Amino acid sequence: MSVIGSGGFGTVLRVKHKSDGQLFAVKCIQFNDFDEKETENVLKEVKNLEKVKSGYVVQYYHSWRETGCLYIQMEFCSHSLQNILEVKPQVFERQAGDPMDLYEYFISCEIFRQILECVQYLHELNPPVIHRDLKPENILIAHNVRNGRFLKLCDFGLATVHDKRIHYKTTRKHTADIGDMRYQAPEVGQGRKYGHKSDIYSLALIGGNIFDVDLLYILT
């Protein structure tokens, strides 16, 4: 029906099922020109989505290949947190730098609480999963709200399993310099050993955006 997003690894389409009219998001990834590592990352996203089926994560339904493309069928979400952040000050008639009123602050707290629960779910899996690309664009607003949960995580192409026995106690480390630099923890960019706390750093910066506070200045 339409294109609803695009990135380095593909285009996301809004599609409608011919029989029942249900809406889905289908990610189309063309990997004809990918090298071995890029192809591995593309296939890794499907494997990660299969691992993290939960109300905290955009639901994965099915995937298939067609002529050099991988298609991933997922739950359709209408907007991202980035869309919300762009209009939130205008909705509450607040100028940049002005304090929030009680209503905006309460809603901001609920948004951040739900994001924290989503990431907590990943970190409490056995073994834990590090998202490694947390940012407002990868936090989606559910089209059909269930149990009061309207925020979900998406885009697990860079997610990885974290095994403390391997990644802390041996010379093996997670991949360095990965994810969006705007929300990247220093240890990731510097190639040092890191774990789930790299996601916590990203969460702090996202929280700064939600509450309109320059946390990057505070953290550095």
Is position 27 annotated in a ligand binding site?
yes
81 close to 151: Cβ distance less than 8 angstroms? yes
C-alpha to C-alpha distances, 116 to 20, 121, 153, nearest whole angstrom: 35, 9, 11
29 close to 19: Cβ distance less than 8 angstroms? no
- Cα separation, 208 vs 211, in Å, equals 5
138 burial level (CB within 10 Å; 0-12, 13-18, 19+): buried
Read off the amino acid at residue 92. F
Tokens 């989505």 locate to 49
24 close to 60: Cβ distance less than 8 angstroms? no
Residues in the chain: 220
Segment (H or E) for 152: strand 149-153
Residues belonging to the binding site are 27
Residues belonging to the binding site for ATP are 27
